[in-house]
Chains A and B, each alone.
Chain A
Amino acid sequence: MADHAAHNEHHEHKLAIFRGKLKFKNNVQKIWGVLILLSLVTIVEVALGYIKPDILNQEFLALKYLNWIFIILTIVKAYYITWDFMHMRDEVSGLRRAVVWTGVFLIIYLIAILLVEGDYIYEVYKNAAVSSDF
């Protein structure tokens, strides 16, 4: 009996996004809402990539503002694809953490270590006694 109840509960969807600020009437409506959100984010990305405003060419932590914006918007999109299209929002927190925290931790580690190493090799090439441009 408990099993049956758990099963039913499982099929219910959490219908609010933006921390409960935007509620949808049903799951299908939420899907279209998330599609609109993802499309808007993509349109902003493409527009920024096409216009490339000069003011966003300034750098912060070795990356241009423009690139920071692209990366943050990408993570926003990834969040809504995972949480609403893949229904991560409806899973229990144990499953969510086992998948998301593991991935996020390992990916951050990998990226940090490889980018630092790449930058080091760039410096070596640049300051080397032997030219690499010939």
Chain B
Amino acid sequence: MDTTVAATGTEGQKWGGGTEPLRASYGKMMMWFFILSDALTFSGFLAAYGFSRFKFIEEWPIADEVFNHFPFLHGVDAPMFYVALMTFILIGSSVTMVLAVDAGHQMNRKKVSFYLLLTIIGGLIFVGSQAWEWQNFINGEYGAVKTKGGKILQFVDANGDRVALDEFVSVGPRDVVPYGESEGIWYQASGEENATYTLQEVQRGFAARPDLTIRTQQLVVNEETGANEKLILSREEAMFKLNNQAVGVVEGANLVENEYGAPLFADFFFFITGFHGFHVFSGVIFNIIIFFNVLLGTYERRGHYEMVEKVGLYWHFVDLVWVFVFTFFYLV
């Protein structure tokens, strides 16, 4: 072999072959640059979120009101605690991962596999928590009405507390015309047959409850505390808006409408947490693959556990992204 390769005179120097540029192996360096590009992707998403939020700075939903559920605490207002718990779960799984990497440096197969297993469990709990969070967001809690301009009107009582649609709207008869087999269709229904509540029912229920009024998307500054609050209309303004500008009932959130406020909020929430959740899911898959490789002794035979280190870098990156998502979706 020596005879086929010309000596360059740079052997023993950096880039001369044999040594590693930047003292990192090829795989590890490429993992770092993949992470850099992925970080820029996530920054693009979060910056776009910031752009839309600055565009609608006076009407963005208040996160504390959107994400206030906690498992087994129905009806209890617990803003942020669940996401805080998710943050701890993900940081915890980061710690078990870095402990696995450390055990890998000591060539301790048993410890590596144990810590990897804990990391996988942590990741699965996190993905499950995200699914639960999505479910709450999609189902919604109070329901609202949207206007021609796409703005959301929410119902509140005299104290400014939110009132759910089912507390004041009674469901009327639905317009369903049954057909027989001879016509080839089962029934024909008016457009809103499948809706829980129609706009007319909401208007009727609202008119019958003089103590209720409407809260708009508009944020106003509370003079006393300096905090942002949603603008509450007077009863007359509320009646006017509901009877003249409302076009439909919104329950829960999806990519088209969002009972909490701007539909863009829901779009960004689904897209960014979804993309992050997809990263967590892929990370769990990678972890499972290297977990079995550790059990099979692949890295033991290879003489080093660098693969655990590289997958570990990816796993920590997922944690790093979550730290930012947590701040910009739930805190700021």
Check if B285 is an interface residue, CB within 8 A of chain A. Answer: no
Question: Which residue in B12, B53, B56, B313 is a CB contact (below 8 Å) of A2?
Answer: B12
Expressed in whole angstroms, the minimum distance between the Cβ of A80 and any Cβ of chain B is 10
The proximity string for B residues 314-332 relative to A, scoring 1 for CB distances below 8 Å and 0 otherwise, is: 0011011001101100111
Asked if B32 contacts A85 (CB within 8 A), the reply is no
Check if B87 is an interface residue, CB within 8 A of chain A. Answer: yes
Chain B residues near A10: list those with CB within 8 A: 23
Given A82-B320, A85-B94, A111-B43: A74 and B327 interface contact (C-beta under 8 Å) = yes
Query: How many residues does chain A have at the interface if contact means C-beta atoms less than 8 Å apart?
Result: 58
Asked if A121 contacts B91 (CB within 8 A), the reply is no
Question: Which residue in B56, B57, B98, B323 is a CB contact (below 8 Å) of A31?
Answer: B98
Query: How many residues does chain B have at the interface if contact means C-beta atoms less than 8 Å apart?
Result: 68
Given A99-B35, A103-B36, A132-B149: A27 and B54 interface contact (C-beta under 8 Å) = no
**CA A55 to CA B88, docked complex, whole Å:** 28
Check if A22 is an interface residue, CB within 8 A of chain B. Answer: no
Asked if A86 contacts B99 (CB within 8 A), the reply is no
Chain A residues near B324: list those with CB within 8 A: 74, 78
Asked if B80 contacts A50 (CB within 8 A), the reply is yes
Stretch of B44-52, B177-185, B276-284, B290-298 that contacts chain A: B44-52
Check if A6 is an interface residue, CB within 8 A of chain B. Answer: yes
**CA A103 to CA B320, docked complex, whole Å:** 14
In this complex, what residue of B is CB-closest to A58? B226
Chain A residues near B20: list those with CB within 8 A: 6
Expressed in whole angstroms, the minimum distance between the Cβ of A39 and any Cβ of chain B is 7
Question: Which residue in B47, B312, B332 is a CB contact (below 8 Å) of A70?
Answer: B332
Chain A residues near B84: list those with CB within 8 A: 42, 46
The proximity string for B residues 21-49 relative to A, scoring 1 for CB distances below 8 Å and 0 otherwise, is: 01110000100110110011001100110
The proximity string for A residues 105-134 relative to B, scoring 1 for CB distances below 8 Å and 0 otherwise, is: 011001100110111011001100001111
Asked if A114 contacts B319 (CB within 8 A), the reply is no
Asked if B40 contacts A107 (CB within 8 A), the reply is yes
Asked if B102 contacts A95 (CB within 8 A), the reply is no
Expressed in whole angstroms, the minimum distance between the Cβ of A50 and any Cβ of chain B is 7
**CA A87 to CA B40, docked complex, whole Å:** 20
Given A2-B19, A3-B18, A119-B54: A85 and B98 interface contact (C-beta under 8 Å) = yes
List 9 tightest A-B contacts by C-beta distance, closest first: A118-B54, A57-B226, A118-B51, A134-B149, A114-B51, A95-B22, A74-B327, A46-B84, A118-B55
Given contacts A3-B19, A94-B22, 14 further A-B contacts (CB under 8 A): A2-B19, A3-B18, A10-B23, A42-B91, A45-B331, A49-B79, A54-B226, A103-B43, A107-B43, A107-B47, A111-B50, A121-B55, A122-B55, A122-B56
Interface residues of B (CB under 8 A from A): 12, 18-20, 22-24, 29, 32-33, 35-36, 39-40, 43-44, 47-48, 50-58, 64, 79-81, 84, 87-88, 91-92, 94-95, 97-99, 101-102, 105, 147-149, 151, 216, 218, 224-227, 245, 312-313, 316-317, 319-320, 323-324, 326-327, 330-332
